[in-house]
Amino acid sequence: MKIVSANMNVLVKAVRKSAKIIIRDFGEIEKLQVSLKGPGDFVTASDKKVEKILIDELQKARPDYSILSEEIGEIKKDSSFRWIIDPIDGTANFLHGIPHFAISIGLEHKNEIICGIIYDPIKDEMFTAEKGSGAYLNNQRIRVSSRSKLKDCMIFSGGPSFNSKHKDIIFKEYHDMSSKIDVPIRKLGSGSLDMAYVAAGRCDGFYSRELNYWDIAAGIILVKEAGGFIKDFNGSDKFVENETLLAANSNIIDEMIEVLKK
């Protein structure tokens, strides 16, 4: 039987409460697509509302924990614990009425992610993981895929953003990776869900540049607890500092590094 920690219970409660706002607001997006103002401001407001609920719930349960969140930045406390929050990962999808986005929260202790949750409120899929306890999708154990040949794999990627300074490099990496696999690379627009899908074996690998810590924090523990590996493009563990990230099973990650390393 799965044993859920007190911290995971806090996460689940906070995410469930904030998800009600997302689901309600997502239902309004289609109506806003034809308005003169457009839905951009509405989505920004939704992001902030969701973030406020998450922070309120987390602070109520753990008042001494620090917080790093996409919208408000950092709230520093004395504790060695820190919540890493992305209230809506995949806001462009949300903005356009595409039902593929997630709430993502990781819990960091002494610079290590020890607990994480990625929740897709539209599909009602909750991915959870805790250090040493495995990874789960709606309470069912998940594992990374076991495919061993990169050419047979499904690979996800992200970027580049409009303001990216690495567009040429990213396009070259896309070309190089595409030449190694039979199935076209997927770009689904939510880095946290990409990592959750690696953990669940739905895809075999994910790579991206220029991700923020809140995009990947929960995904780190999910992939690791599902038996996968996370590296930067050169094969080191400095994926946060170097802003390049690979997540994959043990069979293909070295081959992916060979394609992407400089």
Count CA atoms within 13 Å of residue 156 on its CB side: 22
What integer is the mean pLDDT of 210-223?
94
Q: Long-range contacts for 32-36 (Cβ within 8 Å, ≥24 apart)?
A: 33/96, 33/97
CATH number for position 31: 3.30.540.10
Q: Nearest CA to 217 among 53, 106, 78?
A: 106
The domain boundary, picked from 142, 163, 190, lies at 142
Q: Residue 257: its pLDDT value, please? A: 95
Percentage of the residues of the chain whose pLDDT score is greater than 70: 93
Query: Does residue 33 sit in helix, strand or coil?
Result: coil
| Residue 17 within any structural domain of the chain | yes
Convert the pLDDT of each residue in 69-86 to its tens digit.
988 889 998 789 999 999
What integer is the mean pLDDT of 100-126?
96
What integer is the mean pLDDT of 232-244?
89
Q: Are 223 and 127 in contact (CB under 8 A)?
A: no
Same domain, 60 and 136: yes
Same domain, 121 and 178: no
Report how far residue 160's alpha carbon sits from residue 112's, in angstroms, rounded to the nearest whole number: 28
**Predicted confidence band of residue 243 (pLDDT cuts 50, 70, 90):** confident
Query: Does residue 11 sit in helix, strand or coil?
Result: helix
Same domain, 86 and 164: no
Report how far residue 65's alpha carbon sits from residue 108's, in angstroms, rounded to the nearest whole number: 10
Same domain, 156 and 195: yes
pTM, two decimals, is 0.93
Residues 6+ apart with CB under 8 A from 163: none
Q: Residue 95: its pLDDT value, please? A: 84
Same domain, 204 and 78: no
Q: Are 92 and 44 in contact (CB under 8 A)?
A: no
Model confidence at 34: pLDDT above 60:
no
Supply 42's token pair.
Answer: 């509405």
Convert the pLDDT of each residue in 82-95 to its tens digit.
999 999 999 889 88
Which range (35-49, 66-80, 112-126, 178-192) has the least confidence? 35-49
Residues 6+ apart with CB under 8 A from 56: none
Q: Residue 37: its pLDDT value, please? A: 44
Report how far residue 257's alpha carbon sits from residue 10's, in angstroms, rounded to the nearest whole number: 37
The domain boundary, picked from 142, 168, 195, lies at 142
Same domain, 168 and 133: no
Q: Which domain holds residue 134?
A: 6-142
Partnered with residue 66 across adjacent β-strands are 82
Cis check for the bond before 87: say yes or no (omega within 30 of 0): no
Q: Write the DSSP symbol of residue 184.
A: P
Q: How many domains does the chain have?
A: 2
Instruction: Give how far Cα 202 sits from Cα of 56, 85, 129, 133, 189, Å.
Output: 33, 24, 17, 21, 16
**Predicted confidence band of residue 35 (pLDDT cuts 50, 70, 90):** very low
The domain boundary, picked from 142, 172, 192, lies at 142
Convert the pLDDT of each residue in 129-174 to its tens digit.
999 999 999 999 999 999 999 999 999 998 888 888 889 999 999 9
Same domain, 38 and 84: yes
Model confidence at 247: pLDDT above 50:
yes
Same domain, 137 and 162: no
Residue, of 30 and 220, whose pLDDT is higher: 220
Same domain, 121 and 161: no
